[in-house]
Structure 1
Amino acid sequence: MRKSISLFFLIMISTVVGLVGCGSGEESGSGDDSGDGESLKIIAAHNQTDPENPYQIGMKEFKKEAEASDANIEVEVHAGTLGTSESELVEKLKLGGADVVLVSPGFMSKTGIDEIDLFATPYIFDSYDHWEKVVDGEIGDQMAETINEKSNNDFKLLGYWTAGVRHYYGKKPLESIDDIDGMKYRTQTSGVVANYWEKTGAVPTSVAWGELYQGLQQGVVDAAENAYPYFVQQNHHKTDNGKFITETGHDYTTRFMLINGKKFDSYSEEQQQAVMEAADAAVKKEREVLYEQEEEYKQQAIDDGAKVNEIDRQPFIELAKPIQDQMAEESGVTDMLEKIRDMK
């Protein structure tokens, strides 16, 4: 009996000590630097692999600013390691495999948000000043709301990035719009971008970005289109089918920096504010670097032996207008299109 009583008291004392210990641990956690006792790890991803790419520099700025806050945030940046296909990144964002990604309108429109393809329509913008006025103003805010609502909060816009102004590069220079007729042209193979290039007579052809150097070298495609920092970093201009660059300037590109909206809503107010401030810093840094690199990599292409020529863009621009009108009407953004045109 005495042994049983002693054992009972030992169990009681151990239980009390355990409860006190748990209470002490909880108090210690509530005093964490994050304010909520919870650390936050963010997986941020893009599809470019070059360490000097503006995407990578912008994402590193996001990481630096987020981790410098008092919100107890860690950011892990993946440069092409979670996928070089933007459709993969969109899917990972939706399913939780990534928290922040960079994607283009063409891939986002495949999620059923047709309105955003307006920003990818050729010749919708005619300068960086025009582009910035649009995306940083009322229209950009309206598009951000559309993305969030139509994705059911799977996607929340953190900011508008750019991937430069896109030009033609191929096996021969373009002296007129007729010169592109019949060429196998690496570009999007569906949507408004593909519709436009089909109208020029080109044959839109799908080649993965990571395989494009080989595709140009082996003649899988006759030409492609992109901005100087992107195709020069990948040495596309050193291939026989990439060394003639014609400055068509058909797309002042828009890229969406997105976060999973449902996850964002679960963050503390302090963490949400830190993420938004870090995103703003990343937007500024990425644009600044991109604008500098455009001239830098154009000169590198020339130094490497690429041939650059200008072209009368007006026939290209005139061809784009009815395609812009049709796209806007089908997506219900005609008013937005007219506002963009009025801002030129």
Structure 2
Amino acid sequence: MKRFLLLLVAMLVMGILAACGDDTEEGSSGEDGEDSINIVAAHNQTDPENPYQDGLLAFEEVAEEESNGQIEVEVHAGTIGTEESQLVERLQTGGADVVLVSPGFMTSTGIEEVNLFAFPYLFDSYDHWESVVTGDVGDQMADIINEESGNDFKLLGYWTAGVRHYYGNEPLNSMDDLEGKTIRTQTSGVVSDFWERAGAIPTDIAWGELYQGLQQNVVESSENAYPYFVQQDHHRTPNGEYITETGHDYTTRFLLINGQEFDNYTEEQQEVILKAAEASVEAEWDALYEQEEEYREKALEEGAEINDIDRQPFIDLAEPLQDEYAADYGVEDLLEQIREAR
């Protein structure tokens, strides 16, 4: 009887161990027998009509279709962080696998070179911008991000947040109109220096609080691209109804994945993720370009006034600033390549 009981216990233990052995670190097995993986992909915008959302939904669709369901993607629109600093932290700690961030927030990780893409008047058209980010400069910057982060960050693609313009409580007819005017923008680095040298006073207000700040006269002006500030109704406030198309920044955003996690995926999974990233870039660009005109017209229809301005004085102010900061960051060669690409 005792031998029978011992045999029964042994069989039960073996059964438990076998069952445990079926579990995997990544998830359940896919159709081809390989472990499935779950990818949390996040951006900081809460509006579902945002181009960021279109881009990540394209990433989700291609990743899941090409992997036959072996890769599952969860898209989070502002639900795990409305500040880019939160998304960068989650990427480093494993709370997210793919995130979208701007150069300004990447510099907070110690990779100063990426701030090259935040230089005012670095690009003069979308064609110029596209040729740079899809060319040698884009490849070199991707290598810098990966190497200096210790493989914490791997660049999957370059997105854009549109071309940024000034909007405030009065139109700009010349740079002199900025003298003493508070403007919501970055309050440190090259962006802040540019607006200070133009005569304005950079002011720090969180994006989610900016509508109220403009409405209540906390700040007199701001700057952003049409799809973003019009979606938030900034143009319907007393300090946002006058838009001057300064075109000072053809923006760059980085679609990042945790490089160490990426290296742990199979070659087939890596190929699917890279293909999904390509699709996301195309979808985000298309959505953004379409929405820029759409939301410009919406602003006009809802009472905003739009005017042009001679950009040359702003460009003349920006170029020596670019040289100064490029020397600080050690990216003089990249800056020259960008200028030559015009």
Q: Same-fold call, TM > 0.5?
A: yes
What is the aligned partner in structure 1 of residue 89 from structure 2? 91
Q: What do you get for the CA RMSD once the two structures are aligned?
A: 2.1
**Superposed structure 1 runs of 4+ greater than 4 Å apart:** 8-12, 19-26
Q: What percent identity do the matched residue pairs reach?
A: 62
What is the aligned partner in structure 1 of residue 301 from structure 2? 303
Q: How far off is 1:15 after superposition? A: 6.0
SS at match of 2:176: helix
Q: How far off is 1:57 after superposition? A: 1.0
Distance 1:49 1:258 in 2: 19
Match of 2:77 among 71, 79, 90: 79
Q: 1:58 to 1:16 in 2, by over 3 A?
A: closer
> Mean Cα displacement is larger for which, 70-79 or 282-291?
70-79
SS at match of 1:45: strand
Number of aligned residue pairs: 339
Match of 1:285 among 279, 283, 286: 283
Which one has the largest radius of gyration? 1
Question: Which TM-score applies when normalising by structure 1?
Answer: 0.94
What is the aligned partner in structure 2 of residue 69 from structure 1? 66
Question: Which TM-score applies when normalising by structure 2?
Answer: 0.94
Cα contact 1:34–1:70 (8 A) shared by 2: no
Superposition pairs for residues 53-202 of structure 1, below 5 Å? Answer: 53-70=50-67, 72-202=70-200
What is the aligned partner in structure 1 of residue 224 from structure 2? 226
- Tell me, yes or no, if structure 1 residue 335 matches structure 2 residue 326: no
Cα contact 1:36–1:268 (8 A) shared by 2: no
Q: How far off is 1:37 after superposition? A: 3.0
What is the aligned partner in structure 1 of residue 30 from structure 2? 33
Match of 1:52 among 49, 57, 68: 49
Q: Which amino acid aligns with 1:203?
A: I
Q: How far off is 1:244 after superposition? A: 0.1
Note the residue ranges of structure 2 that are not aligned, 5 or more in a row: none
Q: 1:203 to 1:269 in 2, by over 3 A?
A: same
Distance 1:191 1:24 in 2: 53
Q: Which amino acid aligns with 2:220?
A: D
SS at match of 1:233: coil
> Mean Cα displacement is larger for which, 142-151 or 31-40?
31-40
What is the aligned partner in structure 2 of residue 210 from structure 1? 208
Distance 2:22 2:172 in 1: 70
Cα contact 1:165–1:253 (8 A) shared by 2: yes
Q: 1:340 to 1:15 in 2, by over 3 A?
A: same
Match of 1:236 among 223, 234, 237: 234
Q: 1:33 to 1:105 in 2, by over 3 A?
A: same
Note the residue ranges of structure 1 that are not aligned, 5 or more in a row: none
Q: How far off is 1:10 after superposition? A: 4.6
